[in-house]
Amino acid sequence: MQYYNLNEPNEIVDFKTAAIKGQGTNKGLFFPTSIPVLSSDFWKRFPLLSKAEMAFEVLRPYVSSSLSEQQLYNIAEDTFNFDIPLVKVNDQIQSLELFHGPTLAFKDVGARFMSRCLGLFAQTRSEKLTVLVATSGDTGGAVANGFYDVDGVEVVILYPSNKVSEVQEKQLTTLGKNIRAIEVNGSFDDCQALVKQAFNDDELQRNLFLTSANSINVARWLPQQMYYFFAYQQWADSLNPPVIAVPSGNFGNICAGLLAYQSGLPVNHFIAACNVNDVVPRYLNTGDYQPKPAQPTISNAMDVGVPSNFIRIEELFGKSLDNIKTILSGATVTDDVTLQTIQQVYQKNQYILDPHGAVAYRALEDYLQAHPNQKGIFLETAHPIKFIDTVEEALNMKLIIPESLNDLMKAQKQSTLMEPNYDDFKSYLIG
Ligand SMILES: *Cc1c(COP(=O)(O)O)cnc(C)c1O
């Protein structure tokens, strides 16, 4: 499989190059030159495949130019080594719990897959790769955990001092080894500005081979399609495929689901569930695409004003809004309704939602009210404990802290405090 640059279609690269570069010339996203269709033989064996076997078969065409079969199988086994259960909430709705990975959020899958690919690619290079990431919370933890102890790759994470939760900070700062954390005395935007300046600094690039681990990287995007296959394997009603609601921010996750659908996965309908940062739902309803600055909400991992993966959805459907609308609709859920949903679902079904899952649940329930003969799945993308303040306040009770977090909270923070000053950052990187 080759990948072309959506902004510069003449730039065509293999998986390895796309994964190392992250994005192409002129900030273009890489996109597969063809979408593989799964064989009837695959579907015959589907019910009995393990997660790693299934991931191996689905992802093989995407990486075959750059990874051997054994390498891919090992990476798949290592990436998908935790539960991804489909849990019944009520008669119409099930939750696909994507939060059983090491940092309790769905970004673990993409980060683990990408880190293991880069680790292999680094072995054939003389110089180390340095991954730079600015994080407002969840991404940094997943990247730190995914890349921990991967040979040939150094990771530098920048986060805004006092602006991430305690759990998030511990996930970023307690690992050590090849993971270093810089605590920037400023905002997330300051962190991002430092990273951007580093990528534009030719002198620095001559000293270090820099790459980013952001969500548009194909090695983070492609493995996410597996969630949808795992969900369908656990879906009992093969005559009526599910409606699937996805809490969406940068639209990488739902775009991966649509890719799975194009490969032949049975899905009745997709819902892009957004908080008030709803550029895409508004576009689907009005035909008018109007990016705007992000507004802060309680489902903050979806506070994105310019969703970077939407262009891939357009490409998947031949750039036709009418085609997109045959399978995808959008919904907007405000913070008030999100909180009410957390309360109602707990009262009725004793199921605890996190704010992101709650947005998707609400969108799905509304859709199913208008389509009462259908049933659906929403993606629960984070453990409620990661948003403990919001959820405890909504439910007026204490949440039980998972065992894995107790150990984390006892670990010692190691970080370098820095002013948002590029010269300091650069000498840190070179030194
Ligand atoms: C990143 C994130 C999302 C949004 O996913 P996208 O792929 O950016 O649309 C949703 N929920 C949680 C908890 C996240 O961390």
CA of 218 to the centre of ligand 1 (A): 16
Chain centroid, CA 306 distance in Å: 16
**Residue 407: is its pLDDT beyond 90?**
no
**Residue 115: is its pLDDT beyond 80?**
yes
Residue 168 in contact with ligand 1 by CB distance below 6 A: no
Angstrom distance (rounded) from CA 405 to CA 410 = 9
pLDDT digits (tens, 9 = 90+) for 180-218: 999 999 988 889 889 989 988 989 988 888 888 878 899
416 token code pair: 């370098």
Average pLDDT (357-366) is: 98
**Nearest alpha carbon to residue 158 among 198, 195, 213, 199:** 195
CA of 326 to the centre of ligand 1 (A): 24
152 token code pair: 């040939």
Beta bridge partners of residue 134, listed in sequence order: 158
Lowest mean pLDDT among 5-19, 76-90, 292-306, 328-342: 292-306
pLDDT digits (tens, 9 = 90+) for 234-269: 999 989 999 999 999 999 999 999 999 999 999 999
**Nearest alpha carbon to residue 394 among 330, 277, 299:** 299
Beta strands in 162-258 (DSSP E): 179-184, 209-212, 243-247
8 phi/psi in degrees, rounded to 5: -135, 80
In this structure, what is the dihedral angle of CA atoms 284, 289, 293, 296, given to the nearest 10 degrees? 0
Beta bridge partners of residue 377, listed in sequence order: 94, 244
In this prediction, residue 200 carries a pLDDT of: 85
Per-residue b or e along 72-108, where b marks 16 or more CB atoms closer than 10 Å to that residue's CB? bbbbbeebbeeebebeebeebbbbbbbbebbbbbbbb
**Residue 137: is its pLDDT beyond 80?**
no
For the beta carbon of residue 194, count every other beta carbon within 10 angstroms.
23
Distances (CA, A) of 150 to 158, 207, 371: 19, 21, 48
- Total number of residues shown for the chain: 431
**Nearest alpha carbon to residue 66 among 104, 30, 41, 95:** 30
The model's pTM is 0.94
Whether 398 and 388 have beta carbons less than 8 Å apart is answered as no
What 3-state class would DSSP assign to 401?
coil
In this prediction, residue 30 carries a pLDDT of: 96
Q: Which of 106, 135, 224, 390 to mutate to test the pocket of ligand 1 (most atoms within 8 A of CB)?
A: 106
Residue 297 in contact with ligand 1 by CB distance below 6 A: no
Contacts of 353 (CB under 8 A, 6+ apart): 341, 342, 345, 346, 361, 380, 384, 391
**Nearest alpha carbon to residue 215 among 300, 120, 142:** 142
CA of 135 to the centre of ligand 1 (A): 13
**Residue 38: is its pLDDT beyond 80?**
yes
* Largest Cα–Cα separation, the chain: 63
pLDDT digits (tens, 9 = 90+) for 295-326: 889 998 898 888 989 999 999 999 999 999 99
